[in-house]
Amino acid sequence: MAEVSAAAVKELRERTGAGMMDCKKALAETGGDMEKAIDWLRKKGLAAAAKKAGRAATEGLVASYIHGNGRIGVLVEVNCETDFVARNEAFQELVKDIAMHIAAAAPMYVRREEVDPEVLERELEVYRGQLREQGKPEHIWDKILEGRKEKFLKEICLLEQPFVKDPDKTVQDVINEAISKIGENIVVRRFARFVLGEGLEKKTESFADEVAKLQG
């Protein structure tokens, strides 16, 4: 595949409104030809999906997913434009799939714009320490850190994660396909993921030990 510049991705995104990763893939698949990339996006239905992205999505569905005999639970809110679509079987299946994905892939945020800058900076500081320990020359740090930052964001942001049921697509790709088929804007608004016992300290003392302490 052709090497794709950030400037070309930006231009294609501005011209089509399609997602950044979709634009990058389109350019790579078409050898960097802008017009062919636009056609590629249109054939995939992604440009059409992007045009719907600005439309208000205030209806939708809150779905739950419980995994591992109740050890992991997810609640996710996915919005669409009309109550009619919210009752659509394809939309409901999409929402359930997203909830299942969240349970399996453990994202921290919906999209990269929501990432706490302190979380990102802490991660970059760890990477800097690794580069320092490895003796990498400082003049190449910025390029390496940029790559690692991108990798980290794709790991923690729901929409950029490889979809668990089809890792060749991102979650956003799957949503875009649904937008094209259903004909309405679809937006993941928020989610919560619960893991049994997460954040709690496990007690090692037996009940008998605790009783003995109380009696003593």
- What does residue 195 show for φ and ψ, rounded to 5 degrees? -120, 125
Q: What pLDDT is recorded for position 74? A: 97
Give pTM, 2 decimals: 0.68
pLDDT surpassing 90 at residue 139? no
* Structural domains of the chain, ranges and CATH numbers in brackets: 6-52 (1.10.8.10), 59-195 (3.30.479.20)
pLDDT tens string 161-211: 999 999 999 999 999 889 888 888 899 999 999 999 887 766 555 545 554
